[in-house]
Structure 1
Amino acid sequence: MRIADNHGHAGLHGNAEEAEYALLMRIAAEDMRAFEMLYRAYRPRLRRFIAGIVRQPALVEEILDDTMMVVWHKAHTCNHQAKVSTWIFAIAWRQAVHALRRNDDRFEPGDDEHVSSSEPGPDIELQQCELQRHLGTALAGLSTEQRAVIELTYYLGYACREIAQIMDCPVDTVKTRMFYARRKLKTLLALTREEAI
């Protein structure tokens, strides 16, 4: 079962959101099948989101598992004031921040997984790899909060209001982080390209 809208968000519209909330209530009653369904629906997006924040591949699966364990144990606490997806991504955000504080590490640019639906030629593939490398390097230069805002906005399609709920901050803070992240990315991408030449 996959509950999604045309943006790939699980539960953004009335019926789908109600179905996800019902699924979460089944999880609160310790229904393992409901948990497996929710896990399969959220795993790819959570993995990408977490990978974008921590930039440490070894830590991603651990944080993903920790996030889903919190969902399993705390499903009864979701009060239906926020969307289920917002509630789950907020848990992932807190788990990622906690893991970063626990490790107290600087981040290495991670390798984003590249999936192509067609076979590009070698030149295009090389250009795509270079672009991914430049983007990965530039993203690594952002703060954790700025990377999270970029991931949630551009890769997961969340609106500022939802990001504010996930990150537990005012909407204006999200907008400010986005402004500075874009500005810094523009500068970092320009520098990265110049270094490559």
Structure 2
Amino acid sequence: MQQTQGLSKDSTPDADEARLLARVAGGDRSAFEQLYRTYFSRLSRFIGRMTRNAPLIEEVVNDTMLVVWQKAASFDGSCKPSTWIFAIAYRKTLKGLRGGDDPVESDASLYEDESGNQPEQTLDRLQLQATVAGALDQLPAAQRAVMVLTYYHEMAYSDIAEVVDCPVNTVKTRMFHARHRLKDLLWNERENSR
């Protein structure tokens, strides 16, 4: 079996990440750096969709990864490493949101167009993204988390239930209510823009 940077070529990403966590638990800084690089953008997107506060996003990512460094030995493999890490990020985000920081506009570079679209198409896409982001911002944090983890991170309801620490049926209920609320918000936005 050939190895590259400590990861097996013939294994799954979850198994590779579990091995990285085991190395982190042993104090391996290079494994932690690799895990940090793997999760930085994913966590930033997740947290960024929960809050538009740029300093809070960075703070929560760093706080999350600090917990990963300190508590890696507590990862028991009962869930995917990503589920465990996102659960930490979710709890840290909720704690940050309770702190009362006001949201700020997100960095426009997050929406840079790399697809070669014409300016009109890019503007339409950016306006749609802003509209959806605004509607998501109006959802309660628990519903927003379920939507973001489902649609932006493609997590299964069972994984989301572990992240947000609730039963799967609660995740389904939150999703049901979030979809209906989002539909109403987007419909109202559409009617107001006419």
Deviation at 1:115, TM superposition (A): 4.0
Tell me the percent identity: 44
Deviation at 1:104, TM superposition (A): 2.6
Deviation at 1:118, TM superposition (A): 2.2
Q: 2:129 aligns with which of 121, 129, 132?
A: 132
Letter in 2 for 1:104: G
CA pair 16-121 structure 1, distance change in 2 beyond 3 A: closer
**Equivalences for 1:91-170 in 2 at 5 Å?**
91-101=88-98, 103-105=99-101, 107=103, 110=106, 113-170=110-167
Q: 2:46 aligns with which of 32, 36, 49?
A: 49
CA contact (8 A) 2:136 2:144 kept: yes
Taking the aligned partners of 1:79 and 1:108, their CA distance within structure 2 comes to 37
Confirm or deny that 1:40 pairs with 2:37. Answer: yes
Q: 1:182 aligns with which of 179, 183, 186?
A: 179
Q: TM-score if structure 1 supplies the norm length? A: 0.87
Over 4 Å off, 4+ runs = 105-112
Taking the aligned partners of 1:99 and 1:76, their CA distance within structure 2 comes to 25
| Corresponding residue for residue 27 of structure 1 | 24
Deviation at 1:19, TM superposition (A): 2.0
Letter in 1 for 2:100: D
Post-superposition CA distance 1:84-104 (Å, at most 9, x none): 111000000011111112x23
Deviation at 1:15, TM superposition (A): 3.6
CA contact (8 A) 1:47 1:61 kept: yes
Structure 2: 5+ residue stretches without partners: 6-10
CA pair 152-142 structure 1, distance change in 2 beyond 3 A: same
CA pair 145-109 structure 1, distance change in 2 beyond 3 A: farther
Q: TM-score if structure 2 supplies the norm length? A: 0.89
Post-superposition CA distance 1:10-52 (Å, at most 9, x none): xxxx743222111101101111100011111111111111111
Taking the aligned partners of 1:17 and 1:125, their CA distance within structure 2 comes to 35
Tell me which moved more, 112-121 or 184-193. Answer: 112-121
Deviation at 1:116, TM superposition (A): 2.9
Taking the aligned partners of 1:108 and 1:61, their CA distance within structure 2 comes to 13
Deviation at 1:132, TM superposition (A): 1.4
Post-superposition CA distance 1:117-172 (Å, at most 9, x none): 32211211121121112112111110111111111000000000000000000101
CA contact (8 A) 2:49 2:133 kept: no
Structure 1: 5+ residue stretches without partners: 3-13
